[in-house]
Amino acid sequence: MSLASLIIGASFVAGSLLTHFPVWGGQAIRFTASALILGALCGRRWRIVKTWPVGVWLRVTGLAITGMVGYNIAIITAEHTAEPAVPGTVVGCAPLAVALLSPLLQARAPNARSLTAAALVVVGTCVVQGFGRTDGSGLGWSVVALGCEVAFTLLAASTLTLTGPLLASACASGIAGLLAGVTAFAVEGASWMRIPNSSEVMSLAWQTVATTVGFLFWCRGIDRIGTERSALFLGLIPLSAAATAPLVGTGHLTLPQVTGCLLVAGGVVHGMSHTPETHDPAVRGEPG
């Protein structure tokens, strides 16, 4: 979960180098390339896909819509009228939302330690991000992005028990690539297929790695430790973005950000330092 968060956070910084590349064209490229890589890793597991009922495909499509396409649409739209810190801070509330909703959906009371840990992570994220200027539209789309992130985390928990992390990641990436490609043609026309320059190639390559490794590891983490504890690691994403931004000259690491990083780290350690209710990854009997 830590590695996935750090890689995803760094991919946001890499995205700052794509300011002149068609936005949805870039998304279609990264998701499709990720699907091809993950698909190659699946090997004989593809035989299981033929046995999936419609309900499983709907769940996997839900992962692609909420965690990939929908989330990115909301973030991109929010940043039309809001500073990037606004959606970053709003989405940073996801650990607390998951800590509240996940147990309620399982008909049990929220755990006090989980809530405290999530609150520390949220406060730390807010300190790292700050809160910039926005209007009603920017704030509204930031809330939509938060909803997508929470929905993805809760949906993944039940989906992965049926599919396994690798197949779910490969199929969700493929569906996201298709949806992003359709959106690119609708919004950007044929211009999204232009050849990227050298810096754009490097950025797209890193985003592809982030999608492939980050999404797969994130799904494995949810499958192994459950939704409440895995959601704490969402706080590491803005930390990674803040730490890597100076490396490409798109930001500066300040004392408040360092303080926020310590708060997030404290929340993660606090949440992971107890023995939770038993969470056993599903046994799926995947061949190979």
Which pLDDT score, from 0 to 100, does residue 288 have?
A: 39
Q: Which residue has the tokens 């690691």?
A: 233
pLDDT digits (tens, 9 = 90+) for 158-209: 898 889 999 999 999 999 999 999 988 888 888 777 888 888 888 888 888 8
pLDDT at position 130 over 50: yes
Q: Is residue 141 part of a domain?
A: yes
Query: Rounded mean pLDDT of 40-51?
Result: 87
Q: Is residue 69 part of a domain?
A: yes
Q: Is residue 93 part of a domain?
A: yes
User: Is residue 163 a contact partner of residue 52, using CB atoms and an 8 Å limit?
Assistant: yes
Q: Is residue 285 part of a domain?
A: no
Which pLDDT score, from 0 to 100, does residue 286 have?
A: 47
Answering whether pTM is above 0.85, one says: no
Q: Is residue 282 part of a domain?
A: no
109 burial class (0-12, 13-18, 19+ CB within 10 angstroms)?
exposed
Range of 81's domain? 2-272
pLDDT digits (tens, 9 = 90+) for 61-73: 999 999 888 888 8
Q: List Cα–Cα distances, 123 to 22, 86, 116, 158, 242, in angstroms.
A: 34, 14, 11, 28, 15
Q: Is residue 123 part of a domain?
A: yes
In the chain, how many domains are there? 1
Instruction: Flag the least confident range among 49-58, 138-147, 184-193.
Output: 184-193
Extended strands (E) in 160-242:
none
Q: Is residue 208 part of a domain?
A: yes
Confidence of residue 132 (pLDDT cuts 50, 70, 90): low
Q: Is residue 279 part of a domain?
A: no
pLDDT digits (tens, 9 = 90+) for 111-125: 888 888 888 888 887
Which pLDDT score, from 0 to 100, does residue 139 have?
A: 85
Query: Rounded mean pLDDT of 57-61?
Result: 95
Q: List Cα–Cα distances, 157 to 62, 199, 252, in angstroms.
A: 12, 37, 36
Which pLDDT score, from 0 to 100, does residue 37 have?
A: 94
Instruction: Flag the least confident range among 16-30, 36-50, 121-135, 144-158.
Output: 121-135
Of 245, 205, 268, the residue nearest 10 (C-alpha): 245
pLDDT digits (tens, 9 = 90+) for 240-283: 766 666 665 555 667 776 787 778 878 888 888 765 554 545 54
Query: Rounded mean pLDDT of 205-225?
Result: 87
Q: Residue 189: left if φ>0, alpha if ψ -120 to 50, beta else—which one?
A: left
